[in-house]
Chain A
Amino acid sequence: MINDTGIVVAFWVLAVTTVGCALMVVAVRELIHAVLFLALSFVGVAGIYIVLSADFVAVVQVLIYAGAVAVLMTFAVMLTPAADRRNSETGFWLPAAVLAGLVLVVIVFVAYDTSWNLSGRAAFPATAASLGEAFLKPYVVPFEVASVLLMTAMVGAIVLTKEEEGDDA
């Protein structure tokens, strides 16, 4: 439970902004505007991470999501010029909305119904050093596997988008 007034106000402002931007991603009619609102919601989520005292993860979120994934999506929109740029839904949007609403109701119910094993812990001190230790001591194997995964993804992306073997020299 966080009781500091400033942090509570910041949390609510950030929460409303993030959910608002996510709803705008659904609602806007242009794909490139939707990508921009998505980038804004990423930055809002980074603010939520700071409220939850995860400063390192927040900066990593801005660096990777807003700085790289959003640029990737803009690239994809740019490299598909003759495609449909309207952000429209398929015919099945009503069942999808019902399902999403059901998921939300279940999550809200579980959040309020479960008795959580809360600890009255204060906020974490600077997390970067402890996270570094965690990555290199208990979690070193997933760390190395993640780097192999990234390399595989890079190679895969390049192979998928390479042109045919036409001679363009």
Chain B
Amino acid sequence: MPEMLLASVKLEHVLILGGWLFAIGLFLALSKRNAIGILMGVELMLNAVNVTLLAFSRFVVSPRPLDGQVFAVFVITVAAAEAAVALALAVAVYRHRQTVNIDEIDLLRW
């Protein structure tokens, strides 16, 4: 088994790595109590998606193989913008309710 693993890096290996990161990010996003913990899960999921995109760009037949990398850069950009807005939201909610625990933020308006 170790020789099989050490022989080469195939597309399947990278996809499984992306799958692991996505699953861990999904668990974080669904089960953490803190709003910042949820955001951490979302960022991990976006990283997993980037890994998958770059793996396809590297290994799969394509007329323009660099498109995967372009897409990955756009995903990074959008993820950074979304992280900024999400954290601003968390801080704004904290100002009113003194908590970022999502179990306690359960009223639509107060």
Partners in one complex: yes
B1-52 interface (Cβ within 8 A of A)? 5-28, 30-34, 36-37, 39-40, 43-44, 47, 50-51
* Residues B54 and A52 in contact, CB atoms below 8 Å apart: yes
**Which of A61, A65, A83 lies in contact with B34, CB distance below 8 A?**
A83
What is the 8 Å Cβ interface bit string for chain A, positions 71-83, against chain B (1 contact, 0 not)?
A: 0110111011011
Residues of chain B within 8 A (CB-CB) of A11 are 9, 13
Q: DSSP class of A's interface residues: helix, strand, loop or mixed?
A: helix
Q: DSSP class of B's interface residues: helix, strand, loop or mixed?
A: helix
In the bound complex, CA of A160 to CA of B89 (Å): 7
B47-87 interface (Cβ within 8 A of A)? 47, 50-51, 54-55, 57-62, 64-67, 69-70, 72-74, 76-85, 87
Nearest chain-A residue to B17 (Cβ)?
Answer: A15
* Residues B77 and A146 in contact, CB atoms below 8 Å apart: yes
In the bound complex, CA of A7 to CA of B7 (Å): 11
* Residues A76 and B85 in contact, CB atoms below 8 Å apart: no
In the bound complex, CA of A18 to CA of B44 (Å): 10
Given contacts A8-B9, A57-B69, 11 further A-B contacts (CB under 8 A): A15-B13, A35-B36, A45-B47, A49-B54, A52-B58, A56-B73, A65-B43, A75-B87, A89-B31, A108-B16, A146-B77
18 intermolecular pairs with C-beta atoms under 8 Å apart: A1-B8, A1-B9, A7-B9, A31-B37, A52-B58, A54-B72, A57-B72, A61-B76, A65-B47, A65-B76, A87-B34, A93-B27, A99-B30, A100-B27, A127-B69, A131-B66, A153-B84, A157-B84
Residue numbers of B with Cβ under 8 A of A are 5-28, 30-34, 36-37, 39-40, 43-44, 47, 50-51, 54-55, 57-62, 64-67, 69-70, 72-74, 76-85, 87-92, 94, 98-103
